[in-house]
Amino acid sequence: MNAQDIIDALVISGICLREQIEGCTEQEIAQLERKAGAPLPQQYKTFLAAAGRAAPGFFTGTDFYIRQVDGLTEDAADLLRENNEPFDLPAGAFVFSMHQGYVFHYFILSDDADPPVYTYCEGKGMPRPAGESFSDYLLNSVDWHVRIAEEARAYSKP
């Protein structure tokens, strides 16, 4: 998946307008990579370059964009400790998304360009697969946003 595919998915789905989407600079991505202490997966960097600063309507209420991800891995580790979970984040985990402080998504930093994504939800036990790859997770998330919007419209009709 390239940057244009990501932008097209967001626009064609009706989640946001093309002019609302804002990608990250190479410097912002490099800074996040330095903070992560390892190279970020190529598909995640592609997303950041395409829409990593803003895509209004996509992941509203979720810490997901570049200005919000710094520190999420530590926040997720704290959440696991607070919940007395019998497991820790795996070595190399990079948390790229946290919703309302009780759900987070991560992948393992490795040489995989498009790694699997895992999710943890407070009270649900062990993390579970959330996508066979970051690209898969992203496309499934677009579909989920569309379904939620359709359900909301159907519910609001008299």
Task: Tell me 98's DSSP state.
Answer: E
Going from N- to C-terminal start, the domains of the chain cover: 3-156
Check: CB of residue 76 under 8 Å from CB of residue 147: no
Task: Tell me 20's DSSP state.
Answer: G
The model's pLDDT over 87-130, given as tens digits with 9 standing for 90+, comes to 999 999 999 999 999 999 999 999 999 999 999 999 999 999 99
Query: Can you give the pTM of this predicted structure?
Result: 0.91
Tokens of 4: 């244009």
Q: How many CA atoms lie within 13 A of 17 on its CB side?
A: 2
- The CATH topology of domain 3-156 is SMI1/KNR4-like (3.40.1580)
Bridge partner residues of 104 (DSSP) = 98, 120
77 has pLDDT over 80 = yes
Residue of 147, 146, 149 lying closest to 10 (CA atoms): 146
pLDDT, position 158: 64
Residue of 49, 67, 38, 40 lying closest to 6 (CA atoms): 49
The model's pLDDT over 38-52, given as tens digits with 9 standing for 90+, comes to 999 999 999 999 999
